[in-house]
């Protein structure tokens, strides 16, 4: 019995080869482009997060927490003093974190 080769099998093998070559090219070229950029690829994202958690949102969240803690304290809720102390510490950490980072590492 003489079996003739399947013409579709040849096309499929060619497609697999082209897919592998293109995937290999992408995996080699994109990291090279990422390294060619200045700085770490995470710098912009981490800077955005730092600005988010130490900027306006931190101040607004601190103000809301102070108002809620003051309300609890005014109405004699148990643990209100502890809550206000935590709010004061958390506010100081969130708002002053940028200054501490500048002082320690010059970021």
Identify the pLDDT of residue 32. Answer: 61
pLDDT of residue 10: 72
Of 57, 51, 53, nearest to 107 (Cα)? 51
Q: Where are the domains of the chain?
A: 7-36, 43-105
Best CA proximity match to 82, nearest among 91, 92, 96, 72: 72
Given this model, what pLDDT does residue 4 score? Answer: 54
User: Which pLDDT score, from 0 to 100, does residue 91 have?
Assistant: 81
| Tens place of pLDDT per residue across the chain (107 aa) | 555 566 677 777 778 877 887 877 777 766 665 655 566 667 777 778 777 777 777 778 888 888 888 888 888 888 888 888 888 888 877 777 777 777 777 75
């Amino acid at each position: 019995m003489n079996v003739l080769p399947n013409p579709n099998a040849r096309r499929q093998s060619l497609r697999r080869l082209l897919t592998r070559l293109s995937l290999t090219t992408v995996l080699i070229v994109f990291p090279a482009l990422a390294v060619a950029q200045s700085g770490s690829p995470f710098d912009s994202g981490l800077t955005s997060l730092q600005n988010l958690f130490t900027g306006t949102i931190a101040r607004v969240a601190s103000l809301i927490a102070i108002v809620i803690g003051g309300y609890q304290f005014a109405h004699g809720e148990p643990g209100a003093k502890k809550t206000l102390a935590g709010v004061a510490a958390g506010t100081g950490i969130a708002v002053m974190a940028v200054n501490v980072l500048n002082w320690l590492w010059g970021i």
